[in-house]
Amino acid sequence: MTSTLRLLADHLRAGIRASVLLAVLVAVTVFIVAIVPRAAAAVATAELSFQLGQEKTVSLDLSAEGRLNFDKGSTADEMLTPIGDAIEAFPSSLPHPFADGVGGAVWVVKSSSAMGQSAALDNTRLSLRLAIDLGFTERLRYVSGEAPLPWAGESGTDDAGTAQSSAEEPDPDELGTDTSNPIDIAISQESATLMKLSVGDIVQYSPAPLRVAGIYEPTDPEDSYWSHTYDLARA
C-alpha cells in the first residue's frame, strides 16, 4: 500500500515524538525567558528592602539646613509662616516617582549656640541653643510644668512673638541677670536631670535669662523626629 494517505500517516507516526519534544522544549524556553526577569527583580527588591531596613532613619530621610536672617521689626508669624508654607510645599514639587516616597515636611528653627550658667551647676558653662517648632506639642507630653509662654521681648512690652537675636557671643560675665522678664523654655527630662534643673529654675543667658516652664518626655522615642533633633531629647 503506497497511497499518499498511507505515506503521510507513516511519516507522522515516525516523527510524532520529535515534534512533541520540540513543542515541550519551546514551551519551557518561553516560560523560563518570561519568569526569570521577574524572579530576579523580586529578589533584587527584597534585597534592597532588607539593606534599607538596616540603615538608620536619619540617613535615609531627605533633609537640609539653611540660615534664617532675623528682622527685629518682624513677628514670628510674619517670618515663619511663609517659610513654613514653602517648606511644606516642597515635597509636591519633586519629580515622580521620587515624590511618591517622600512624606510631609517637618522643620525646626534653631539659634546658634551660646553660653549659659545655672546656679545648680556653679562651676559649669552650659552651651545652649533655643529652638522653635510650631508642632512641637504633638510629639511630647509634659511630666512637669507646662508649655512656655511667648516672650514679651527685650523691652518688656507686650510684643509677644517678636524674634530677636544677638550678633555677637555674649561675655560670660554679662549674661542676663534681670529675672523680671525671662524667656520661658521647655527642656527634656534627660536634660533637666543632667543640668539639675526643675520647673521655675533660672538659667543665665543673653539677651535674657531663661526660665524653665516645662519638662517633657517624647511620646514616641522611636519617631525619626528625635533622631534629627537629638538635642531636644537629650542633653
Average pLDDT over residues 166-174: 44
Quick: pLDDT tens for 48-89: 787 777 777 777 888 888 888 777 777 777 888 888 888 888
The CA distances from residue 114 to 105, 149, 155, 193, in Å, are 28, 21, 21, 20
* Residue ranges per structural domain of the chain: 4-54, 108-232
Show the cell assigned to 78: 510674619
For residue 131, the model assigns a pLDDT of 92
Q: 186 has which bridge partners?
A: 214
| CA trace torsion 116, 181, 143, 217 (10° rounding) | -50
* Mean pLDDT of the chain, nearest integer: 80
Predicted TM-score (pTM) of the model is 0.66
Longest dimension (CA), the chain: 125
Is the predicted pLDDT of residue 167 greater than 70, yes or no? no
| pLDDT band with cut points at 50, 70 and 90 for residue 1 | low
Average pLDDT over residues 116-140: 86
| pLDDT band with cut points at 50, 70 and 90 for residue 155 | low
Buried b (16+ CB within 10 A) or exposed e, 206-231: bebbbbbbbbbebeeeeebbbebbeb
